[in-house]
Structure 1
Amino acid sequence: MAEESTLVIDPSSGFCKSNSVFYSKRRPVAHPPNDSLDVTTFISSRAHHGRVAFVDASTGRHLTFADLWRAVDSVATCLSDMGVKKGHVILLLSPNSIFFPVVCLAVLSLGAVITTTNPLNTNREIAKQIADSKTVLAFTTLQLVPKLGGSNLRIVLLDEQSIPVVQNARIVGTLEEMMKKQPNGTRVRDRINQDDTATLLYSSGTTGASKGVLGSHKSLIAMIQIVLSRFKLDDGDHKFICTVPMFHIYGLAVFALSLLASGTTVVILSKYEMHDMLSAIAKYRVTYLPLVPPILVALVNNAEQIRSNYDLSSLQCVLSGGAPLGKEVIEGFVERYPAVTVLQGYGLTESTGVGASTDSLEESRRYGTAGLLSPGMEAKIVDPETREALPANRTGELWLRGHSIMRGYFHNEEATATTLDSDGWLKTGDICYIDDDGFIFVVDRLKELIKYKGYQVPPAELEALLLTHPDISDAAVIPYPDKEAGQCPMAYVVRKAGSNLSEASIMEFVAGQVAPYKRIRRVAFIASIPKNPSGKILRKDLIQLATSKL
């Protein structure tokens, strides 16, 4: 990345012909040169004028910055006394809470590793993650203790009570007790380097089995700096509401960690519910609202009712991620909420949630874009067949390189080798192109391309087409095994209420608008399309459903 100054880079696209790399057009952010730096120290040493760090939206309980750092020191002291050392893995199984960041920061300050999991996961899935990650201790709530039934892990309760109300030998204490402990300023600390592992997060696995993604202190620090440069939070009193799960990379990196460095207040919802979210925005005068596209669509569709019942006058900005927004949604939102800016972001667990973003409404109006490359991020567009790096306006797999890229997959050298190359390039698996002005457009997932008689068919293209049909409310397209063609496109369709649309008419509708190899060859009707929390279609579930009948 140091060679950038001597290269000839197109100022419009960011493309350099001599090495076929796209460089970020954003103002660069200097990464801290100190190698011996952990993310907790980095955050706590940032100067700001903030007072309240976190607020529980439902109870109003809050932690000031002074409360928070005192609690982090106390919990770190207790963990150290319990034998937690650098490299030990600690599981955090909890809904969003003002205590989530306390645990994360305390664990990271010791050089230990935080792993999180979705509270909706089954006991079997959680047990598998515990075994795979070699977890030594779990923080969870009383209600979720049964989810750890298959393990012998020591447990610390997060509930706000001093004495556990159940007799369980594995419960070794409560966070409330730990937070009252006098911090030990004289304890010997392990030396922590930026390259040391900080997080072990399991990717959602929309296309296959989930894998443990190793994030470093360096990747988290890079993410924090990008967040601070993207949102100019020094001017005015800003409040973010956390609607996204903190067990996901975006929730963890932005809301449990990054925003602390700016002195911003984060209002935390334990779980997303539209009424609770809107009430909290009104009550706490929230300025920034992060969400996934389905929530944005709901805000557009129910705007009149929402505006008459809730005071959203404090809201300045919505941040959408998970999937690009189309013209209809963006303009529909702007029309109904003219004082609110729509911004978008693109990132992966493997890139610490960083990759590209739109930082103004004007940029978001490049409809369908994921945005410009984040500061310090480099990209290549690579032909999946020839491995040739391509110039602007050519479609291929997006590769990313920068400080926020993961170290690799935990105990999975094969997956690491196929995803990270020796020069530090992360192969995202997203089929993209970068236009003449440096904006990235995601066309589809590489692994989800349907191989029909040697042709590659992008399911997202067919889904977008199906959604233009007046009788279709939702749709997903998957590969279906075919003896002759290898695979053929199959559509799962949700009909609008009262519609008696037939399979044949859907196939006919598509056939009239695409090349012959892209035609839908099979159709099935379904009540709803399965999606993960960030709104991505769970194709593997639909593939399983379709092929189980073979």
Structure 2
Amino acid sequence: MTSSHHDPTLEYYEKLGQTRFVSPKTPDVHSIYKPSTGPIFSSPYGPFPEPIPADLSIHDFCFPRDNPLPPHDYDALISSATDERVSLFQLYGRIKAFARAIAPDGPNPLHLGAPATGDGPGQDGEILGICSRNHLDWPMLAHACFRAGVPFGGVSPASTVAEMRHVLGRMRCTGLIVHEELLGKVRRAVELARREAGGFWLDEGKIVVLSEDRGRMEVGGWPTVEALVRVGLGVDEGVARGFEGRRVVGGERLAFLFQSSGTSGLPKAMMITHRNAIAIAQQSIIDGRAIGEFIGGDPIHHKILGIVPCYHSYGAIVYIARINLFRYANVMLLPRWNTKHALETIERYRITSLPMVPQVVRQLAQYPDLHKHDLSSVIAVGSGAAYLPPDVAKALGDKLPQKQPVGSGYGMSEAASISRPVTCGIFGLPSSADKLNTVGYLLPGMSGRIVDPTTMKDVPTRNTPGEMWVRGENVTPGYFHDAQATAELFAEPGWLRTGDLCSRDEADQITYVDRFKELIKVKGFQVAPSEVEDCLLDHPDGLVRDACVVGVIGEDGITVLPRAWVVLGAKARGRTADEVFETLTKWVQERLSRYKWLDGGIEQVESIPRTESGKMLRREMRDRYEKGQGRKSKL
């Protein structure tokens, strides 16, 4: 790798990093972090060194108006399916063109009016939904919306018709950019909305189709994304210069909406402001620069496997808030997950970074032909978006070049990036590799507390579980047009209740226990489902490939008992179900307290239902059981 003294592109990024309000006051990476002595603890990276300008937009943060691009072009996005490439310069050009086309004061073939700016009085307006699997145009569409000042809402392409109707209504989407393969589902969602009263704002005249054929200008009577890009490119040069000179307003204005996971009910719409998004980007820069300074040597040419969904908060970090922040960061986007194709992509493009979700980590760890693939290029592996069982983290880590468990970061739709494991020794901190369930240390600009959810007071000692509360610039202002849910989210001004049971150790390292609302109360004792699941997964014979534990009502109609659903592993073949269940029952009883035993039974299933991001749908398993779709196994 060329040194920074002879590489103008690297010099561009280093200078840009210095001007993005991140470097001057960051603690020296070789200094020793002093853990907090009080109940509130902070990030070893320190606070954000400088205030974010009040009206800065996330687009202008990523592409500064005075110097938006480096001196040399490179492939920013590559489709792993077709090898189609979009360079950084092409990406920026398409962002500008699409933004010109949809801007309310531009050509505006969609006839968009004033955009929404928030959920307060007088802030209603246009919001574009984006519903597509991972696609080369996803980051372009997001930044074009930012540049045009029109907020967007990410909608899961895996939504059912009813879920899509609900989410589009919750987000108050007035228009929609939708992949052509999902048009049938959108039509049915619109038909469903017509049969129901109110709560739906989508104008069918404001639909744009994302087509795989860039030569198509319309699909089903609706314009394509490519058609609008060409509209923007065709704007008179003098007019275009006027567009480029406009100031994009950001700050506390609504930038985009996340679809919540819906693990405890129908999804809600989570607001993210430009200020929130810039804070997420700052965290990436500070963290990346700190690691680079600590490790030393020449910068790394990042080649990132684009697995995580673009519409998800994790995807927003990887594909939207980090655009143009790192030197030569190529993202190889996977349209959909396929283990064999993903491994071939790692080999073909010499992938260095694997941001993953737990479900993908599990599939890779259990893939029988993993050893046949060359993974020597991989130097950074991380998991997020949901809980990663320690045995799964270790199983894949042992098969990767570093021979370290896969690190699991911590975040949520309400605060996309909260903590992550750190490089061993940075700030004098110990390694997280051997600590089960750790989600590392708070990221730059974050503060945290561990609070007893019953008394609402800070827990008195270290390593005592309580609800994790966080504070930082990346924390959402709340749920879109849902004041009651927002009020429940913030117990005190500025402090977000995560709903997660965590603890912190002597070094302020955070350990994840479980979702607070998913704890099972057995005869007055609290049982963390993840602890029992981890115990099942940890059986030395590898009998269990996946597990889900929830509390069910016992035969007396009163007592709540832990019950497990298990996906058996290959090593369970040749044994009867009763033999396996008896072995697992004995294993749990030898290792866990009496009240954690599986007195509600064990049942074999083919799969455990999960969201796209890997979050387990325990509610669905409980509902199936209560509706009589499952029976307790007699052990």
Instruction: Please report the TM-score for the alignment, with normalisation by the length of structure 2.
Output: 0.78
Cα distance in 2 for residues equivalent to 1:136 and 1:269: 29
Match among 83, 94, 115 for residue 86 of structure 1: 115
Q: Which residue of 1 aligns with 2:408?
A: 344
Q: Which residue of 1 aligns with 2:614?
A: 535
Q: Which residue of 2 aligns with 1:206?
A: 263
| Correspondence list, 1:326-475, <5 A | 328-339=391-402, 342-352=406-416, 354-360=417-423, 362-390=431-459, 391-469=461-539, 470=541, 471-475=543-547
Is 1:112–2:112 an aligned residue pair?
A: no
5+ residue gaps, structure 1, are 6-10
Partner-residue secondary structure (3-state), 1:86:
coil
Cα distance in 2 for residues equivalent to 1:520 and 1:465: 11
Is 1:68–2:87 an aligned residue pair?
A: no
Partner-residue secondary structure (3-state), 1:479:
strand
Q: Which residue of 1 aligns with 2:61?
A: 42
User: How far 1:520 sits from its partner (Å)?
Assistant: 1.9
| Correspondence list, 1:269-308, <5 A | 269-302=334-367, 305-308=369-372
User: How far 1:155 sits from its partner (Å)?
Assistant: 1.5
Q: Which residue of 2 aligns with 1:500?
A: 576
Partner-residue secondary structure (3-state), 1:261:
coil
More strand by share: 1
Q: Which residue of 2 aligns with 1:8?
A: none
Cα distance in 1 for residues equivalent to 2:172 and 2:286: 36
Q: Which residue of 1 aligns with 2:181?
A: 143
Q: Which moved more, 1:140-149 or 1:215-224?
A: 140-149
Cα distance in 2 for residues equivalent to 1:252 and 1:191: 20
Cα distance in 1 for residues equivalent to 2:401 and 2:342: 20
Q: Which amino acid aligns with 1:180?
A: L
Q: Which residue of 1 aligns with 2:141?
A: 103
Cα distance in 2 for residues equivalent to 1:407 and 1:400: 13
Cα distance in 1 for residues equivalent to 2:385 and 2:573: 27
Is the 1:293–1:323 contact (alpha carbons within 8 Å) kept by the matching residues of 2?
Answer: yes
User: How far 1:443 sits from its partner (Å)?
Assistant: 0.7
Cα distance in 2 for residues equivalent to 1:447 and 1:29: 32
Match among 57, 68, 83 for residue 80 of structure 2: 57
Q: Which amino acid aligns with 1:345?
A: G
Aligned CA distance change for structure 1 residues 389 and 181 (closer, same or farther; 3 Å): farther
Match among 298, 304, 320 for residue 240 of structure 1: 304
Q: Which residue of 1 aligns with 2:553?
A: 481
Is the 2:611–2:617 contact (alpha carbons within 8 Å) kept by the matching residues of 1?
Answer: yes
User: How far 1:365 sits from its partner (Å)?
Assistant: 3.2
User: How far 1:13 sits from its partner (Å)?
Assistant: 6.7
Partner-residue secondary structure (3-state), 1:135:
coil
Cα distance in 2 for residues equivalent to 1:336 and 1:115: 38
User: How far 1:119 sits from its partner (Å)?
Assistant: 1.2
Partner-residue secondary structure (3-state), 1:363:
coil
Is 1:157–2:209 an aligned residue pair?
A: yes
Q: Which residue of 2 aligns with 1:314?
A: 377
Match among 512, 519, 534 for residue 597 of structure 2: 519
Consecutive aligned runs of 4 or more in structure 1 exceeding 6 Å deviation: 170-173
Partner-residue secondary structure (3-state), 1:108:
helix
5+ residue gaps, structure 2, are 1-24, 27-31, 117-125, 191-202, 293-297, 425-430, 630-635
Q: Which moved more, 1:503-512 or 1:402-411?
A: 503-512
RMSD: 2.8
Is the 1:78–1:181 contact (alpha carbons within 8 Å) kept by the matching residues of 2?
Answer: no
Cα distance in 1 for residues equivalent to 2:325 and 2:268: 29
Partner-residue secondary structure (3-state), 2:439:
strand
Is the 1:316–1:340 contact (alpha carbons within 8 Å) kept by the matching residues of 2?
Answer: no
Is the 1:13–1:436 contact (alpha carbons within 8 Å) kept by the matching residues of 2?
Answer: no
Partner-residue secondary structure (3-state), 1:488:
strand
Aligned CA distance change for structure 1 residues 115 and 327 (closer, same or farther; 3 Å): closer
Cα distance in 2 for residues equivalent to 1:91 and 1:223: 22
Is the 2:100–2:148 contact (alpha carbons within 8 Å) kept by the matching residues of 1?
Answer: no
Match among 217, 223, 230 for residue 287 of structure 2: 230
Cα distance in 2 for residues equivalent to 1:327 and 1:127: 37
Is the 2:376–2:401 contact (alpha carbons within 8 Å) kept by the matching residues of 1?
Answer: no
Q: Which moved more, 1:224-233 or 1:384-393?
A: 224-233
Is the 1:39–1:108 contact (alpha carbons within 8 Å) kept by the matching residues of 2?
Answer: yes
Is the 1:246–1:252 contact (alpha carbons within 8 Å) kept by the matching residues of 2?
Answer: yes
Cα distance in 2 for residues equivalent to 1:236 and 1:466: 39
Q: Which amino acid aligns with 2:616?
A: I
Q: Percent identity?
A: 27
Cα distance in 1 for residues equivalent to 2:226 and 2:387: 44
Cα distance in 1 for residues equivalent to 2:385 and 2:274: 24
Is the 1:56–1:98 contact (alpha carbons within 8 Å) kept by the matching residues of 2?
Answer: yes
Q: Which amino acid aligns with 2:272?
A: G
Match among 535, 540, 544 for residue 623 of structure 2: 544
Q: Which residue of 1 aligns with 2:172?
A: 134
Cα distance in 2 for residues equivalent to 1:383 and 1:177: 56
Q: Which amino acid aligns with 1:16?
A: T
Q: Which amino acid aligns with 2:158?
A: L
Deviations 1:297-352 (A, max 9, x none): 4444447x4453x4433322112224555665555545433357744311101102
Partner-residue secondary structure (3-state), 1:193:
coil
Aligned CA distance change for structure 1 residues 285 and 340 (closer, same or farther; 3 Å): farther
User: How far 1:478 sits from its partner (Å)?
Assistant: 0.8
Match among 186, 196, 213 for residue 242 of structure 2: 186
